[in-house]
């Protein structure tokens, strides 16, 4: 297990909201992050699909991780998400990559995939800006 991956797991474990949802870090290397989440009823909306807020949370967090893999301690400044179809199934996976990065910001993209009865479907795509936390302030 790489040092970066171990660091990433520690950060995730220190996020109470990620613990509440049950998010796991599947991969974390320079320029790339994969987060995954087991679907349970508590994470759904009224039609039985995973709530859009859960899909957004996972995309947002994966974007921050991808950016953080090259910037260090980071936050999401902004992102945009398109929901492509209802998120249905037993597991969600968000795969984010860095498209471009400078010293203080990175632009990243993310796709969220739902695993349903062994079949993977793309359920959302996101794009956003990750900013290094300014430790001088």
Q: Is 54 left (phi over 0), alpha (psi -120 to 50) or beta?
A: alpha
Size of the site for a second copy (CB under 8 A): 46
For 50-75, b where at least 16 C-beta lie within 10 A, e where not — what string? beeebbbbbbbbbbbbbbbbbbeebe
Determine the Cα–Cα distance for residues 14 and 17; give it in Å rounded to an integer.
Answer: 9
Q: Does 113 bind a second copy (CB under 8 A)?
A: no
Helices (H), the chain: 3-13, 16-21, 52-71
Q: Does 31 bind a second copy (CB under 8 A)?
A: no
CB of 112 to a second copy, least distance (A): 12
Considering only 22, 29, 38, 42, the residue that binds a second copy (CB under 8 A) is 42
Considering only 1, 82, 135, 136, the residue that binds a second copy (CB under 8 A) is 82
When the beta carbons of 12 and 115 are compared against a second copy, the nearer one is: 12
CB of 26 to a second copy, least distance (A): 17
Q: Does 38 bind a second copy (CB under 8 A)?
A: no
CB of 128 to a second copy, least distance (A): 8
CB of 118 to a second copy, least distance (A): 21
- Binning the chain into helix, strand and coil, the percentages to the nearest 5 are 30, 45, 25
Determine the Cα–Cα distance for residues 107 and 66; give it in Å rounded to an integer.
Answer: 9
- Residues at the interface with a second copy (CB under 8 A): 11, 14-21, 41-46, 51-54, 56-58, 60-61, 64, 75-85, 99-100, 105, 107, 109, 122, 125, 127-129
């Amino acid at each position: 297990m790489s040092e970066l991956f171990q660091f990433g797991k520690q950060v995730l474990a220190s996020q109470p909201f990620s613990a509440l949802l049950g998010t796991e870090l599947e991969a974390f290397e320079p320029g790339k992050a994969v987060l995954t989440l087991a679907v349970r009823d508590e994470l759904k909306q009224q039609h039985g699909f995973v709530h859009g807020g859960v899909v957004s949370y996972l995309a947002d967090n994966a974007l921050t991780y991808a950016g953080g893999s090259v910037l260090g301690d980071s936050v999401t400044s902004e992102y945009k998400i398109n929901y492509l179809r209802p998120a249905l199934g037993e597991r969600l996976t968000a795969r984010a990559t860095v498209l471009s990065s400078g010293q203080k910001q990175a632009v990243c993209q993310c796709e969220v995939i739902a695993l349903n009865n062994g079949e993977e479907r793309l359920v959302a795509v996101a794009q956003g800006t990750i900013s290094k936390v300014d430790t001088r302030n």
